[in-house]
Amino acid sequence: MTKNMASSERPKRILFVCTANIDRSPTAEDLLKDIEGFEVKSAGVWFNARKRISRDLIEWADIIFVMEDFHKEVITTLKPEAESKTIVLNIPDIYPRNDPELIKILKMRLKEFLKIDLESQN
């Protein structure tokens, strides 16, 4: 996949999920939100998450990136058929929002899975 997609193609819908939707998933969402060819949202699995995961969000997404294994478990409990489109990034809950190390890890993992170069992004 390249950074630019043909204008006739629907953007790839990416959902990032962490625990509370405060630090990791919003940071990831910010990395992709202005990249052509992607429509991006984020959510959390906790009951009191800033934006809570839902069946509608799971159905909306083409790819779901979760930070930890238990996030995938929550998603597949809500929607078992989402297992094949859910990818665990294995990023622990130790980073504040927009932490430079978190951004570095996210860029590396997203490059691996989405085949895009985010190095030019802030």
Give the start-to-end residue ranges of the domains of the chain: 12-114
Per-residue pLDDT averaged across 86-97, rounded? 98
CATH number of 12-114: 3.40.50.2300
| CB-CB contact of 44 with 19 (8 Å) | yes
Q: What is the pTM of this model?
A: 0.90
Mean pLDDT of 16-40: 96
